[in-house]
Amino acid sequence: MITKQLIEHIEGEASVYFDMDGKKVDFATVVFPHFRGMESFLEKKNALDALVITPRVCGICGHAHLMATVRALEDAYKNGGYEVIPTQKANTIREFTLVMEMIQNHFKWLYMVIMPELSKLIDKPFTQKPLKGAYASSLASKAIALFGGQWPHSSYMIVGGVTCDPTYMEILQATSFVEELVKFFEKECLGVSLENFLAFESCKDFQGVESDIATLEATLIDLDMQKKGFAHDRFLVLGTHNFSSIGKLKGTRTFHVDPKFVTTIQAYTPHEKTYAYNALYKDEYYETGSLARMISSNESIVKNMHRRYKDSAYSRVMARIFELALLLQHGRSILNTLDVTQDSVVKVEDIHNITAKGIGVVEAPRGPLVHEISLKNGLIESYKIITPTQFNIGSSTREKPTPVQKAMQGISKDEAEFIFRTFDVCSVCTTH
Amino acid sequence: MARITKEERKQGIINAALQLFSERGFYITTIPDIAQKVGMSVGNFYNYFTSKDILAKELIIYISEYLGQSIREINEEDISTEQKIHKIVSMYFAMAEEKPEMIEYFLRVYLSNREVFADGCEGMICVSPFVTEMMIFFNDGVEKDELHNQDFFSAFGLFMGYLGGMVFLFGEKILPEPLDNYKDSISQNIYNALKTRD
Amino acid sequence: MHSKLETKKPKLLWLQGLTCNGNTHSFLNLNSLDTLLEQFEILYFPAFATDYTYEDILTCKLSCDVLIFEGTYDSTLQRGGILLADVLQHYAKSAKYIIGAGTCASFGGMFAEMNPQNKSGLLFKKGEWVTTFEMYKEKIINLSGCPMHPEWMAYTLQMILHHKTILLDELYRPQELYGYLSHHGCTRNEYFEWKVDAKNFGTKEGCLFYEQGCRGPMTHASCNKILWNEVSSKTRIGTPCLGCTESDFPRTHFFTTKTNMSIPQDIPFDVPKRSYLTMVGIAKTFHIKRLEGKLIDYKTTH
């Protein structure tokens, strides 16, 4: 029996078609019904217009798109014979704002998606207010705005560096916001200090803690989420940053990766037309996002968790919480390394002299974001965008399911809906 | 007999000054010379212009405004850029023939004695009415897609340098034919240099 | 222009067309958002759950007092299998206020550029009037911006709560918000006054109008008055204003100023070109040493 379930309160819209075997999900396909046509819109435009257009693919991760565009452009410059090397100051500022956007995403997902969705599965609903997540996110946005001018949609990264030229005033203000955010996280969400949390050896260390996250962890265990939601136990991290380590992982064995092996194919959705494409690496499906990054970076608490619970829904959710803590710590520390006397932007060749292809890869909150650009005399000939949701939430056949499809098999429909969300779908990104 | 107004008196001084500077040269001409030509006392003269330097600057502003106004009238006509170029050249050459003292003042006094104008006429302040109209002319030409886009000074230098050079040659009596005979070919050359490329 | 509301909480409904969700996320940054939202009965909001599901909303059995629409309107778009046009018409009829959140809802914006047929804002497609929701024009308020500023939505909702009339401009945007130019309050104003161009990006000094394509003097917005995220703005940190509140957004050739013979094609609103050029010509003559140097001299040791 096929049931269609409309998924709401995600970025955009998606539907899941459940093929039930009694009370259990036998198989599911995912449909993204909208299309905006941004890739063809970018054709024939000035290359620099992409810095304004691609962030508008998505309201919650526009910054990641901006960085992917600027990296793709700089890669094109390199392939065109005019390598661009931004200063350490510019790279640090770019990374800081990206980290803040990621933190912002994680908070919103926790409070506005995961906790409310989990509460549907138990008798007692959570009393946490969703807007707690929004408050934390607004603090992160302030830190971004000090360098980017505003959040969302700043367009402050350009070829060769960044448009801003901050003083220590901005750096100190940003540091204050991060500290406030850490305090909020510790007091209102975590129930323990950040340092203690990052020193946890296993999730047993949550015992005795009273907080939103401790309750979340306990509820996941009560619902046996550590025994459900398994995907292929294969992970992919493609974006190079100081907080990630690129690689392809099968279980915990790491392999070398190259973005050129990413391909996309039409999704398989027998019940309704979809506009999304599935993303594969060397013709296989891989999970991306926080869990992938944490395992790839060898974070011991996540490795311990993975040893016991593999890539269950529990691991997926808890990994993101651990990443949130790590990113807060990382954000704090990189601000200290900023040298205001360095240049914000290096001299670059006139873009009209660039005829070349380039690839820009960024770790967005949900996984790798790939932008492929082809320039001719500074004009865009073609532009391709591959989003992390295409890796995680593709729709394929029974014989070769995508991570989310595999994870939803063999459980109840309600649980499957929850597990679907543990992958954090960004539908607007996927239907660009 | 009607009373002569202050404005008319001032205009009289301007005309006289330009004549004398043209005939005898800027440094040789004195305030008493000008006052005598106009028929007023030196003391009264100082009621209109407090010094020779002030007079010098006012003259250049006067000429700029005159040129600026003439070009503005041409700018506002509903004709092609090619036709406007012809009209500007014709107007400029006509001025050189009929009121040589004005153009001569610009070329031989203003451009050649920068030290006189250093204080109070820095850069293009005093010729601003004229330069603004040329900016409008170029802007409109590019907007209408009749002139190709380039740096302002490249275009301005071509246009004004060319005209100034021709008028200079005319003043030196080197040109074999009347200035008016050159306006068609010169307008054509200017248009060909500035027009849009295919 | 706007009728009084009942004393019980007004019902608020937030619907979306083709969107990136940027306006939703911008709104979530509002200080004291929960206090504001508590004064409404929220029927539906994209980011968190309410008492109604999306399917409840789409069956059109409810009505609302304040309808907020985010995103480009596409007459062929379906949401949950139901034609959005029908849903919008239903709620627009009973709503007392209709707010277009963002440039897409106001003028068509970014997503009306792609396969433009069937797409527009509520009342305008770029600057041209469209008749689809014309019958509701008395109740429509446009909060253009890509995204809109959260304070602009807060202003509008609070004016509604206090039964105040909102003065609108000819593009249906609140004058108290859009009467300012994004140029007003930029920290680089002195450089604009004395025509000191920024030589490149990434500097504290210099005006971005002459070469970097800043649309500040031609854009109606209060970004440099209210500031973004309560701390900053694009132009303050060195990104040119992109003109995102105007009906012609998105333009092209961002980050560069279009010039005709070195003369900016677009100049500040309602300033005659002659006046502007005279001013520029004079100002550019002067070389003010202080303004041509660095604001802060990091290299001098004490």
* Least trusted range by pLDDT, from A98-112, B110-124, B126-140, C254-268: B110-124
For residues C142 and C105, is the Cβ–Cβ distance under 8 A?
A: yes
Mutate to test the interface with C, among B69, B73, B125, B139 (most CBs of C within 10 A): B139
For residues A120 and C206, is the Cβ–Cβ distance under 8 A?
A: no
- Which residue reads 């004058």 in tokens? C175
Q: Would you call B80 helix, strand, or coil by DSSP?
A: coil
User: Which range is most confident: A215-219, C55-59, C229-233?
Assistant: C229-233
* Cβ partners under 8 Å of residue A374, min gap 6: A76, A356, A357, A380, A381, A382, A383
Tally of CB atoms within 10 A around A178: 24
Phi-psi region of A245 (alpha: psi -120 to 50; beta: other; left: phi over 0): beta
Interface of C with A in 153-192 (CB under 8 A): none
Q: Is residue A356 over pLDDT 50?
A: yes
In whole angstroms, give the CA distance from residue A348 to residue A157.
Answer: 14
CATH of domain C11-178: 3.40.50.700
Within 13 Å and on the Cβ side, how many CA atoms surround C41?
A: 12
In whole angstroms, give the CA distance from residue B22 to residue B35.
Answer: 16
pLDDT at C1 (0 to 100): 46
Say how many domains are in chain A: 1
Alpha-helix residue ranges (DSSP H) falling in A199-289: 212-222
**Using one digit for the tens of pLDDT, what is the confidence trace for A312-346?**
999 999 999 999 999 999 999 999 999 999 999 99
pLDDT at A126 (0 to 100): 66
Mutate to test the interface with C, among A131, A169, A352, A427 (most CBs of C within 10 A): A131
In whole angstroms, give the CA distance from residue A257 to residue A265.
Answer: 20
Structure tokens at C29: 């940054």
**Using one digit for the tens of pLDDT, what is the confidence trace for B167-189?**
989 988 999 999 999 999 999 99
**Using one digit for the tens of pLDDT, what is the confidence trace for A33-90?**
888 889 999 999 999 999 999 999 999 999 999 999 999 999 999 999 999 999 999 9
Q: Is residue A407 part of a domain?
A: no
- At residue A426 the predicted structure's pLDDT band, cuts being 50, 70 and 90, is confident
pLDDT at C301 (0 to 100): 54
Against chain A, the chains showing at least 3 CB pairs within 8 Å are C
Q: Establish whether the linkage from the previous residue to C147 is cis, with ω within 30° of 0.
A: yes
For residues C155 and C176, is the Cβ–Cβ distance under 8 A?
A: yes
Q: What is the CATH number of the domain that holds A62?
A: 1.10.645.10
Q: Which residues of A touch C253 (CB under 8 A)?
A: 46, 49
* Cβ partners under 8 Å of residue B5, min gap 6: none
Mean pLDDT value across residues B73-93: 97
pLDDT at C226 (0 to 100): 96
* Least trusted range by pLDDT, from A80-84, A228-232, C49-53: C49-53
pLDDT at C300 (0 to 100): 67
Instruction: Test B124 with C282 for CB contact under 8 angstroms.
Output: yes
pLDDT at B190 (0 to 100): 97
Domain with CATH 3.40.50.700 in chain C: 11-178
Instruction: Test C261 with B128 for CB contact under 8 angstroms.
Output: no
User: What is the interface pTM, i.e. ipTM, of the complex?
Assistant: 0.95
In whole angstroms, give the CA distance from residue C20 to residue C22.
Answer: 5
CA dihedral C50, C51, C54, C58 (to 10 degrees): -130
- Min Cα distance A231 → chain C (Å) is 27
Query: Over the range C83-104, which residues count as b (16 or more CB within 10 Å of their CB) and which as e?
Result: ebbebbebbbeebbbbbbbbbb
Give whole-number Cα distances, A142 to A95, A147, A222, in Å: 15, 9, 37
In whole angstroms, give the CA distance from residue A77 to residue C160.
Answer: 52
In whole angstroms, give the CA distance from residue B71 to residue B85.
Answer: 10
In whole angstroms, give the CA distance from residue A418 to residue A426.
Answer: 15
Instruction: Test A62 with C234 for CB contact under 8 angstroms.
Output: no
pTM: 0.93
C224 at interface of A, judged by CB pairs closer than 8 A: no
Mean predicted lDDT score pLDDT of chain B? 92
Q: Is residue A253 part of a domain?
A: yes
Interface of C with A in 87-146 (CB under 8 A): 110-111, 113-115, 146
Identify the domain containing residue A100 by its residue range: 39-394
Most distant pair of Cα atoms in chain A: their distance: 67
Q: Is residue A431 part of a domain?
A: no
Q: Which residue segments constitute the domains of chain B, with CATH numbers given?
A: 1-50 (1.10.10.60), 52-194 (1.10.357.10)
Q: Is residue C61 over pLDDT 90?
A: no
- At residue B4 the predicted structure's pLDDT band, cuts being 50, 70 and 90, is confident
**Using one digit for the tens of pLDDT, what is the confidence trace for C1-12?**
445 545 689 999
Which of C260, C278, C286 is nearest residue B132 as measured by Cβ atoms? C278
Beta bridge partners of A6: A15
For residues C84 and C115, is the Cβ–Cβ distance under 8 A?
A: no
Beta bridge partners of A385: A371
pLDDT at A431 (0 to 100): 80
In whole angstroms, give the CA distance from residue A137 to residue A146.
Answer: 15
| Among the listed residues C105, C107, C106, C148, the one whose alpha carbon sits nearest the alpha carbon of residue C19 | C105
pLDDT at C271 (0 to 100): 94
Beta bridge partners of A262: A281
Against chain C, the chains showing at least 3 CB pairs within 8 Å are A, B
Mean pLDDT value across residues B18-31: 91
- At residue C33 the predicted structure's pLDDT band, cuts being 50, 70 and 90, is very high
Q: Quote the strand ranges of C123-281, DSSP E.
A: 124-125, 128-129, 140-143, 259-260, 263-264
Structure tokens at C54: 């999306």
pLDDT at B157 (0 to 100): 94
In whole angstroms, give the CA distance from residue B94 to residue B107.
Answer: 16
Mean pLDDT value across residues C144-168: 97
Instruction: Test A13 with C25 for CB contact under 8 angstroms.
Output: no
Q: Is residue A428 part of a domain?
A: no
B132 at interface of C, judged by CB pairs closer than 8 A: yes
Mutate to test the interface with C, among B135, B140, B152 (most CBs of C within 10 A): B135
Which of C24, C202, C242 is nearest residue A161 as measured by Cβ atoms? C202
- Tell me which H or E stretch contains B98: helix B81-98
pLDDT at C7 (0 to 100): 62
Instruction: Test C284 with B123 for CB contact under 8 angstroms.
Output: yes
- At residue C53 the predicted structure's pLDDT band, cuts being 50, 70 and 90, is confident
- Tell me which H or E stretch contains A277: strand A277-281
B153 at interface of C, judged by CB pairs closer than 8 A: yes
Alpha-helix residue ranges (DSSP H) falling in chain C: 22-28, 33-37, 54-58, 84-94, 103-107, 150-161, 175-178, 189-193, 223-226, 234-237, 273-285, 289-292
Q: Quote the strand ranges of A387-429, DSSP E.
A: none
For residues A325 and A198, is the Cβ–Cβ distance under 8 A?
A: yes
Q: Is residue A154 part of a domain?
A: yes
In whole angstroms, give the CA distance from residue A299 to residue A310.
Answer: 14
Q: Number of H helices and number of E strands within chain A?
A: 16, 13
- Min Cα distance C267 → chain B (Å) is 12
Mean pLDDT value across residues C186-201: 94
* Cβ partners under 8 Å of residue C204, min gap 6: A165, A167, C238, C294, C295, C296
Mean pLDDT value across residues B47-55: 92
In whole angstroms, give the CA distance from residue B86 to residue B195.
Answer: 13
Class of domain C189-291: few secondary structures
Structure tokens at A97: 């704002």
Q: Give the strand pairing for C97-101 and C66-70.
A: parallel
Instruction: Test A9 with C298 for CB contact under 8 angstroms.
Output: no
Query: Over the range C265-288, which residues count as b (16 or more CB within 10 Å of their CB) and which as e?
Result: eebeeeeeebebbbebbbbeeeee
CB pairs under 8 A between A and C: 185
pLDDT at B55 (0 to 100): 93
Instruction: Test C285 with B125 for CB contact under 8 angstroms.
Output: yes
Q: Is residue A356 part of a domain?
A: yes
Q: Establish whether the linkage from the previous residue to A86 is cis, with ω within 30° of 0.
A: no
Which of A150, A340, A345 is nearest residue C201 as measured by Cβ atoms? A345
Q: Tell me the residue length of chain A.
A: 432
For residues A374 and A380, is the Cβ–Cβ distance under 8 A?
A: yes
User: If you measure CA to CA, which chain C residue comes closest to B72?
Assistant: C274
Tally of CB atoms within 10 A around C32: 11
* Least trusted range by pLDDT, from A105-119, A357-371, C152-166, C280-294: C280-294
Q: Would you call A348 helix, strand, or coil by DSSP?
A: coil
Q: Which residues of C touch A162 (CB under 8 A)?
A: 201-202
Instruction: Test C260 with B139 for CB contact under 8 angstroms.
Output: yes
Q: Would you call C208 helix, strand, or coil by DSSP?
A: coil
Q: Is residue A121 part of a domain?
A: yes
In whole angstroms, give the CA distance from residue C166 to residue C158.
Answer: 10
Which of B123, B129, B132 is nearest residue C285 as measured by Cβ atoms? B123
- Quote the DSSP letter at residue C232: B
Alpha-helix residue ranges (DSSP H) falling in C11-83: 22-28, 33-37, 54-58
| Torsion sign across C-alpha atoms A354, A64, C108, A14 | positive
pLDDT at A190 (0 to 100): 94
For residues A418 and A117, is the Cβ–Cβ distance under 8 A?
A: yes
- Min Cα distance B155 → chain C (Å) is 8
pLDDT at C302 (0 to 100): 46
Interface of C with B in 269-288 (CB under 8 A): 273-274, 277-278, 281-282, 284-286
